[in-house]
A and B are shown apart, each in its own frame.
Chain A
Amino acid sequence: MLAALDRVTKRYVRSEGVQELTLSFPAGEVVGVLGLNGGGKSTLLKLLAGLLFPTAGRVRVFDGAPRANRAQIVYLGESDALWPWMRPTDAARFMRGLHKDFDSARFAELAGALQVPNRKTRAMSKGERGRLRLAMALARSARLYLLDEPLAGIDLISREKILGSIVHEWHTDETILLSTHEVAEAEGLFDRVIYLREGRLALDARAEALREAGKSVVDVFREVLT
Chain B
Amino acid sequence: MRPLRTLLWLEWRRSGVWAVVLLSSLLFWAWGLHQVRFVDVGRQVAVRAGLLTVAAVVGALVLCLMVGRIRSETRHGQYQVLLLTPPSGYAHVLARFGFAAATAVVYYVIIGGLFWWTFARAGVGFDAEAAVELLLACPLYGVGLTVLPALAWTLLLMVFISAYRVSGPGWIPGTVMILGTPFALRWIVDGLVDVSYRLPPWRLLDSVGVAVETMPQDADAQIELLRASLLGVPQEPFWAMLALAAVMLLVAGRLWQEVEG
Contact = CB atoms under 8 A, between A and B. Distances in A.
A73 interface: yes
Contacts of A70: 84-86
B78 interface: yes
Interface in A91-132: 93-94, 96-100
A51 B84 contact: yes
B78 to A, nearest CB: 6
B124 to A, nearest CB: 45
Nearest to A66: B84
Contact of A52 (B6, B13, B166): B166
A94 B10 CA distance: 8
A80 B73 CA distance: 11
Nearest to A47: B260
A71 B166 CA distance: 23
B217 interface: no
Contacts of A80: 76-77
A182 to B, nearest CB: 20
B14 interface: yes
Contact of A98 (B3, B77, B168): B3
A75 B260 contact: no
Interface stretch (A33-41, A82-90, A208-216): A82-90
B173 interface: no
B80 interface: yes
B167 interface: yes
Contacts of B9: 93, 97
Given A13-B168, A85-B13, A100-B1, A77 B6 contact: no
Contacts of B258: 53
B260 A51 contact: yes
B257 interface: yes
Contacts of A90: 13
Contacts of B260: 46, 51-53
A226 interface: no
A1 interface: no
A67 B2 contact: no
Contacts of A13: 167-169
Interface in B204-261: 257-258, 260-261
Interface in B55-108: 76-78, 80-81, 83-87
B6 to A, nearest CB: 3
Interface string B164-190: 001111000000000000000000000
Contacts of B261: 46, 51-52
B37 interface: no
Contact of A97 (B2, B84, B168): B2
Contact of B167 (A11, A50, A77): A11
A99 B76 CA distance: 21
B257 A67 contact: yes
B86 A79 contact: no
A49 interface: yes
B4 to A, nearest CB: 9
B77 A81 contact: yes
B121 interface: no
B6 A79 contact: no
Contacts of B14: 83
Given A51-B260, A79-B77, A81-B77, A73 B84 contact: yes
Contacts of B257: 67
8 contacts: A51-B80, A53-B167, A70-B85, A73-B84, A85-B13, A96-B6, A97-B6, A97-B7
8 interchain residue pairs of minimum CB distance: A97-B6, A79-B77, A81-B77, A71-B86, A98-B85, A51-B261, A100-B1, A70-B84
